[in-house]
Amino acid sequence: MAKAKIRSEFKIRRDLEKCIQCQACVRMCTNDVHYLDTESNTIMSFNNRCVGCHFCEDICPTNAITIERDTPEIKLNYHWESKSVYNIIKQSETGGVLLSGMGSDKQYKEYFDHIVLNASQVTNPSIDPLREPMELKTFIGRKPDKFIINEEIPPQLILETPIMFSAMSYGSISLNAQKSLARAATKYGTYWNTGEGGLHNDLKPYVNNAIVQVASGRFGVDIEYLKSAAAIEIKIGQGAKPGIGGHLPGEKVDEEVSKTRRIPSGTDALSPAPHHDIYSIEDLKQLIYALKEVTRYKKPVGVKIAAVNNVAPIASGIVRAGADFVVIDGIRGGTGAAPTVIRDNVGIPIELAIAVVDQRLREEGIRQHASLIAAGGFRSSSDIIKAIALGADAVYIGTAALISLGCHLCQKCYTGKCNWGIATQDPCLTKRLNPFVGEKRAYNLLRAWSLEIKEMLGGMGINAIESLRGNREQLRGIGLSEIELKLLGIKHAGESW
């Protein structure tokens, strides 16, 4: 067997003057990077095993460790960059599909970074959110065509802030991670999503704030599951891997996951690429109405799709099929595991998808029939407020929520060795995420972003998020081409009425 040609991606710099040899790093690293060399009595590292999760850096009591990027450099070549070369080397060694976690990290244009926000000056007053009421309350669901007093309106989800936690299943993430998000969402008055892995018994107290998913694998779906939740979401696709299914390896299916997913423990949980009962909008309509019948039309039923080429007509079909909300997941949307080539190359950016879907639904006069939820790589409150101004009703955050719990985007979710106790089912690792700590951190993120949104709204002279939805006049593009501006439906910076 020849020596492996795979190079390390990171270099561990240990400041020996600061290292007190407490061995916390040795004990904590699940990739066995650090070890105590008893002969020289120093702590050493295997750089090639490091995945760059930064856990040791965080745990080191004297800040003696720094993880640095150590990309193997090849001769300067603008076409053949180091990453592509080493991917080929890796594949010629293993013969397998390259896997990745989280969302696409490719250098596509970040449209959010090319959009700026408006503020009030002279002609209209800005509002100080610390002195005056500012409304972030958001309603998700079908709105009536006409307002008629005393007429019952269709079921709505009521959000205190237009931010929800996106679908991350028990199995792909740990129960402690789900607990943290569920508690934070319940406390803040927003919603979390069970993902397609069923609803664990420990999460039943938070079910009033849960959106349950019905995905192609139908894991954990039963009458109680559907009836107990606040809303139901049919998952057709997700941003990280449009068009392909899911595969939870049998090693991750322990006793608890097996009970929750209703599958034998140790077996692979395979979610097929398509729903085997949905091959058209008409089929989707049948499922939507089957779920509505089950819940006696008391809960909103939505559909989640990945943003792809024809997202606008597809969304229009979904709305016409009776969905109360449509979730659109952009190319930056994350995952627990996906082939890298799919994650990086399939789908379209969420900014364009929101704009074209909102525009299409308005043109067809059916925008009020469904709420539009955007998902996929929201990095800050400004991304969220821009998404809402482009036409989204609310957003889902997944990666950002996990970062609040500790995630450092090492993209190794699929290995089940997450040092932060998030994307793993190993009891030695899941206990590293104390849900009481996680709850506080996720709650703080919701609070901080909501405060920032209020500040930005106030600056625009708007006192309710409802008034910003689809209000593209508040946005201006910078460095965007004519077609991009047209698709986004915004003017270029400098243009006025």
Partner 1 sequence: MKKIVIDEEYCMGCRLCEIYCVTFHSKSKDIIKTFRSEKDRPISAIVFEERGYTTFALQCRHCKDAPCTDACLTSAMYKDKSNVVLYNKDKCVGCWMCIMVCPFGIIKPDLKNKKVASKCDLCIGREIPACVENCPNEAISIKEL
* Contact residues: partner 1, CB under 8 A: 17-18, 20-24, 27-28, 58-59, 61-62, 421, 427-428, 431-434, 436-437
Please choose, from the candidates 276, 154, 257, the residue with its C-alpha nearest in 3D space to the C-alpha of residue 214.
276
By C-beta, is 429 or 456 nearer to partner 1? Answer: 429
Angle between helix 311-320 and 350-363 (nearest 10): 50
Please choose, from the candidates 242, 265, 247, 263, the residue with its C-alpha nearest in 3D space to the C-alpha of residue 255.
265
Q: How far is the CB of 64 from partner 1 (least distance, A)?
A: 9
Task: Dump the DSSP string for 42-75.
Answer: EEEE-GGG-----HHHHH-TT--EEEEE-PPP-S
Q: How far is the CB of 431 from partner 1 (least distance, A)?
A: 5
| Joined tokens for residue 290 | 């089957």
Task: Dump the DSSP string for 271-308.
Answer: EPSS-TT-SSHHHHHHHHHHHHHHTTT-S-EEEEEE--
Q: How far is the CB of 267 from partner 1 (least distance, A)?
A: 23
By C-beta, is 29 or 475 nearer to partner 1? Answer: 29
Q: How far is the CB of 423 from partner 1 (least distance, A)?
A: 16
By C-beta, is 178 or 335 nearer to partner 1? Answer: 178
Burial classification of residue 408, based on how many CB atoms lie within 10 Å of its CB (0-12 exposed, 13-18 middle, 19 or more buried): middle
Please choose, from the candidates 159, 135, 117, the residue with its C-alpha nearest in 3D space to the C-alpha of residue 462.
135
By C-beta, is 324 or 439 nearer to partner 1? Answer: 439
Q: How far is the CB of 405 from partner 1 (least distance, A)?
A: 12
Q: How far is the CB of 309 from partner 1 (least distance, A)?
A: 45
By C-beta, is 187 or 247 nearer to partner 1? Answer: 187
Residue with tokens 């994650």: 343
Do you know the residue count of the chain? 497
By C-beta, is 64 or 269 nearer to partner 1? Answer: 64
By C-beta, is 297 or 436 nearer to partner 1? Answer: 436
Say how far residue 456 (Cα) sits from the centre of its chain.
Answer: 23
Q: How far is the CB of 21 from partner 1 (least distance, A)?
A: 7
| Joined tokens for residue 356 | 């074209």
By C-beta, is 21 or 310 nearer to partner 1? Answer: 21
Please choose, from the candidates 296, 302, 306, the residue with its C-alpha nearest in 3D space to the C-alpha of residue 331.
306
Calpha distance 486→494 (Å, rounded): 16
Q: How many CB atoms lie within 10 A of CB 28?
A: 17
Q: How far is the CB of 396 from partner 1 (least distance, A)?
A: 27
| Joined tokens for residue 268 | 């692979």
